[in-house]
Structure 1
Amino acid sequence: MNDYYLNDSYQQYRSVDLEAKAAAASPYELVLVLFDGLLDELARARGHIEGRRYQQKGVSLEKCMSILNGLNSALDFDNGGEVVAGLARLYDYCIYRLSDVSVSLSLEGMDEVIELVGILREGWEGVNGTRQP
């Protein structure tokens, strides 16, 4: 078996797995699924940069920016106040940094976005503890 076949099969499996998780998720859990998918794709993009696989890097970074845009578009600007405005600015900043990384190939820029998204994910996970059953 060649690497392309294995990678393609793995991608198909991940797609089906992600769709199943999304279909069964509550809105709260769906955001966690998106954060987890984003973190996985960020790690993949970083690996593509390190491995000098620039075409795959571009595809991965596009996926990351699409997820960030999706998270941004799901924000409730009417009722969220300054917290939502701050999240929107942070998502926009991450998209900006990833656009820069796409050209500069900066691993430091990738690591910054990975760290920010990790903090956001932890914060969102903590929201569950404050939610009423």
Structure 2
Amino acid sequence: MYQNQDYRLYQQDDIAAQACVATSHQLVLMLFSALMDELIRTKSHIKAKRYEHKATSVNKCIDIINALTAVLDFDNGGSVAANLARLYDYCVYRLYDASNQLSIELIVEVEGIITNLYNGWQTLGKK
């Protein structure tokens, strides 16, 4: 038990250290990566019928999506920022539905959208 808790604390410290030196682009990629990891956990909680953990995971996913929405630059981003905001909203609503219906399929749908967006951000970083 303590080893698992110690590892989590170490992992949190490592993420905090990475965030301190990351560019804004890298921070967005970190958020996407954390979101994709949490979506996987959410599916496993549904499969294992750990509904309390599922609820916690869904809330984390929604918090991350809200953080991605909060960093959108609506002043300079134009239609791209507005479209991303709509996509993020759609993902949040699908996660609510997935949580209520205990639907892995809806989470897979959100994973597909998030993966495409993540790949786009990665491509932007290479340019």
TM-score bracket, normalised by the shorter chain, equals: over 0.9
**Aligned-CA RMSD value:** 1.4
Matched with 1:110 is: 107
Q: TM-score, normalised by structure 2?
A: 0.93
Q: Residue 96 of structure 2 aligns to which amino acid in structure 1?
A: S
Call closer, same or farther: CA 1:61–1:10 in 2, change over 3 Å: farther
Confirm or deny that 1:29 pairs with 2:37. Answer: no
Number of residue-to-residue matches in the alignment: 127
Confirm or deny that 1:83 pairs with 2:80. Answer: yes
- 1:18 is displaced (CA, Å) by 1.8
Q: Residue 85 of structure 2 aligns to which amino acid in structure 1?
A: A
Distance in 2 between residues matched to 1:129 and 1:13, nearest whole Å = 30
Query: 1:30-45 residue pairs with structure 2 within 5 A?
Result: 30-45=27-42
Distance in 2 between residues matched to 1:16 and 1:51, nearest whole Å = 29
Distance in 2 between residues matched to 1:115 and 1:75, nearest whole Å = 20
Distance in 2 between residues matched to 1:14 and 1:88, nearest whole Å = 30
Q: Residue 71 of structure 1 aligns to which amino acid in structure 2?
A: L
Report the more deviating stretch, 12-21 or 44-53: 12-21
- 1:13 is displaced (CA, Å) by 3.2
Answer yes or no: is the 8 Å Cα contact 1:32–1:124 preserved in 2. yes
Matched with 1:68 is: 65
In the alignment, structure 1 segments of 5+ residues that lack a partner are: none
Q: Residue 98 of structure 2 aligns to which amino acid in structure 1?
A: V
In the alignment, structure 2 segments of 5+ residues that lack a partner are: none
- 1:11 is displaced (CA, Å) by 3.2
Report the more deviating stretch, 14-23 or 26-35: 14-23
- 1:17 is displaced (CA, Å) by 2.4
Answer yes or no: is the 8 Å Cα contact 1:98–1:110 preserved in 2. yes
Matched with 2:43 is: 46
Distance in 2 between residues matched to 1:100 and 1:6, nearest whole Å = 36
Call closer, same or farther: CA 1:7–1:42 in 2, change over 3 Å: farther
- 1:128 is displaced (CA, Å) by 1.3
